[in-house]
Amino acid sequence: MARERPTALLLDFDGVLRHWDPAVAAGIEREYGLSAGVLGEIAMHWGRLQPVLTGQVSHADWVSSVADALTESVGPDRARAAVQQWQRYRGELDADVLAFVREVRATGVRVGLGTNATDLLDTDLAELGLVGELDVVVNSSVVGVHKPAKEYFQAACAALETPPARVLFVDDEDWAVRGARAAGLSAYRWSGPEGLRYLRAALAH
């Protein structure tokens, strides 16, 4: 049976609409005498990350816990300073994807941001000039459950006021794409702007 044509688009944030330059963290690690990759390694440790992505702890508490974990290697003051400097960088928007979002919304397709994020997300969206650029924002720390859980995608479809079969989800992670498909959404694995041609065709009326 042919799939229904999507009438709503749900985009991942990090890796699709926002990108992080790894050179920023690498430079801070060198400056503070930290081992290469340690900031991301500590911050993304699932036992530390999962509570902040589901709203159990705040972004500020999560950042403090990263600094605490670095204290043994460089001392509390340097650990705090390194993490604060790392956190000041909030990534960069993908101009091609933002232009695509505007183009799609102009045709009447609802566009949502579907992201595993902390309670800093609204601040980030404002700083990056994204307020008003999306119809809905579905933040795991507000929903209380993160991708790839079926409940997350159910909440996202409800926010978009669109049944799962009519929602096209775009993410750069395989596990998220698989989770969306299991929840009944169409899903596309993002690998760069060359994917926009496929997405335009999928959404064409």
Q: Is pLDDT of 1 > 60?
A: no
Q: What is the DSSP letter of 19?
A: E
In this prediction, residue 193 carries a pLDDT of: 94
Contact 141, 121 (CB under 8 A): yes
C-beta separation of 24 from 89 below 8 A: yes
pLDDT value at position 205?
63
Under the banding of pLDDT at 50, 70 and 90, the label for residue 204 is: confident
pLDDT band at 191 (very low <50, low <70, confident <90, very high): very high
- Of the chain, the percentage scoring pLDDT greater than 90 comes to 97
Asked whether the predicted pLDDT for residue 3 surpasses 70, the reply is no
- Residue 16 near residue 187 (C-beta atoms within 8 A): no
Q: Residue 72 has which token pair?
A: 């043994």
Q: What value does the mean pLDDT take over residues 83-87?
A: 98
- Mean pLDDT of the residues in the chain: 96
Q: Shortest CA distance to 143 belongs to which of 151, 131, 135, 132? A: 151
Is residue 200 over pLDDT 90?
yes
The single-letter code of the amino acid at 94 is D
Contact, 26 vs 88, CB < 8 A?
no
Write down the pLDDT at residue 192: 95
What is the pTM for the complete model shown?
Answer: 0.95
If one counts every other C-beta atom within 10 angstroms of the C-beta of residue 162, the result is 21
Q: What angle do CA 79, 81, 85 make, to 5 degrees?
A: 120
